[in-house]
Amino acid sequence: MLRRCERRHFDEENKKETADRISYTHFDNDARKLCVLLSGTNYLYDKPLMYYTNMVMLQQGYDVVQVNYAYEDSFFEQPVAGIAANILKDVKSVIVDVCQRGAYDDILFVGKSLGTIPMSFHFSQKQAIHPKLIMLTPVLQTDDVYKKLLEIENELLLIIGDADPHYDEQKVATLNEKDNVTVLVIPNANHSLDVVPNDMEQSLASLTKVMQRIRAFM
């Protein structure tokens, strides 16, 4: 998925497309570090978790790329391995295009829900480099994804709420036993990491806690 490349300065708009017409948004912070954001199906980059993660990354001196993939309902009728492979193809296309525009010495991946699927499948394989990974509300109830997570050797921060339908106490505990995995469980938080039922104050507090943990992990 990754390669090192030489940086060129440019003054283009930050919304771009690859040769394969995959849309992405590039926040050029004139950095040597890159964060790749992979959104959820209906949880896009204007939503709180992704919006503030983007802000944290820029604050910490990263360039940020948001991969703007979008799929029809029929896309999700295929096996999860097929979903992962097709999203990976799109993500690779974006990374190649970004690397043609600039050079990066370090890279970090952040995925929300759907975005954790290609991360799980790709980084469970042996890789030449081992970027840090942040997974927000991974789909742990999908057994293929959980099994891949057990195989990952990268440093991994996993954040999930215990009111999320994908939360599984035993799976989370098993992952937390791995030396390379750090787990943060938000009490009473759903798949958006909002504290239920409709607790605005606690939801904001949990969002702050998540951003602080992400910043510490970096």
Q: What type of residue is 121?
A: F
Token pair for residue 23?
A: 């849309």
pLDDT of residue 172: 98
| pLDDT tops 90 at residue 6 | no
Comparing 206 with 4, the larger pLDDT belongs to 206
CA 123/CA 95 separation, integer angstroms: 15
Helix (H, G, I), strand (E, B) or coil at 178: coil
pLDDT of residue 19: 54
Chain-centroid distance of CA 133 in Å reads 7
Mean pLDDT of 71-97: 93
| pLDDT tops 60 at residue 12 | no
pLDDT of residue 61: 94
Mean pLDDT of 3-12: 36
Classify burial at 195, counting beta carbons within 10 Å of its beta carbon; exposed 0-12, middle 13-18, buried 19 or more: buried
Per residue in 92-106, pLDDT tens? 999 988 988 778 989
Whose structure tokens read 């492979």?
85
| pLDDT tops 90 at residue 1 | no
